[in-house]
Amino acid sequence: MEGYKHFSHPHNLSFHKSLEGAQLTCTGCKFPCTGTPVYSCRRCKIFLHDQCFDAARSLIHPSHPAHPLSLFPSSTYTAGSFICNSCNQTGSGLCFCCSICEFDLHVHCAYKDLKPKSDKSINPPKQIQLQAHPNHPLLYLPNPPYSDDIVCTCDVCGMVCEGELYNCGVCGYDAHVGCCNLPETVRREDHEHGLSLLHVNPHETFECDVCRGGIAQKHCMYYCMSGCDYGMHVQCVSAKVTEKAPMDAMTFQVEMFKLQNQMKIHQMMIDTKLMGISGLHRNRYY
């Protein structure tokens, strides 16, 4: 079975479309995993909802625009827990945190306020055909029949679905109303080329060039078709770029070891070549 990497856990995780009947809790948000896509490490009893697995490593949140929030696998406080500044409830799993201001958000509370807003003055069509899901039409559901303990995520952007959405009754495919009307091309001031909407992500793994988080292969993305290998989540088009984290000590040592080996091999090749040239010179005189 194919393995998936997540920064919060050292082992590969396996993907399951659903785990019906299993009484499991997401390690990230602490909500039940029943009936939802999940990534798991059975050996360590680690389970992550689809959205928790795909959560960006950093984001600019409207409730705390002064500084970017960084995603941590657990609380950074010595108590081992935090108080969410959105719902005022205690948390112990994945946490979006501002270390400067001691501002913290549950991962689900952070994404709840980032969902695309649809225009309430316009009645969405009852049925649409989406390029990202061409096999079946999607039906408009003004009040989806989901229970409070099930986290529903948009299969276009990967963020939480709350309220109205489009749904495929055959495949269980869900999409925000706003995500069904994404522009085919967009531009960013920090990139010279236009970006095209990829309804089918061809990359097995791809790091968003804005938030540095991974883009799941099943989600849509914006990508530069001019050969720049530059792309991003659909929700990151207007976000600020997050600088890459500095290299940790272990990674630095590994990279230095590789570099030293390459230098040794290169020097050996030079020495061998010089020895060959020296031999040719001797043959000319003897």
The helix (run of H) or strand (run of E) holding residue 48 is strand 46-49
Distances (CA, A) of 3 to 6, 13, 73, 214: 10, 5, 19, 14
pLDDT in tens, the chain (286 residues): 457 888 888 888 888 876 665 667 788 877 767 667 788 888 888 888 877 888 888 887 888 888 888 888 887 776 677 888 887 777 778 889 987 888 998 887 887 766 554 444 345 678 888 889 989 999 988 877 666 666 688 899 888 887 788 899 898 899 888 788 777 888 887 888 988 999 888 887 788 898 888 888 889 999 999 989 999 888 887 777 876 554 455 554 555 555 556 556 655 655 554 555 445 444 444 4
pLDDT at 244: 57
Helix boundaries (H) for 26-86: 50-54
pLDDT at 123: 56
Buried-state track 159-180, b at ≥16 Cβ within 10 A, e below 16: bbbbebbbbbeeeebbbbbbbb
Between CA 46 and CA 40 the distance in angstroms is 5
Between CA 40 and CA 62 the distance in angstroms is 31
Give the strand pairing for 58-61 and 64-72: antiparallel
pLDDT at 254: 54
Global model pTM greater than 0.75: no
pLDDT at 260: 57
pLDDT at 142: 83
pLDDT at 272: 59
Taking only the tens place, the pLDDT of each residue in 196-226 is 999 888 887 788 898 888 888 889 999 999 9
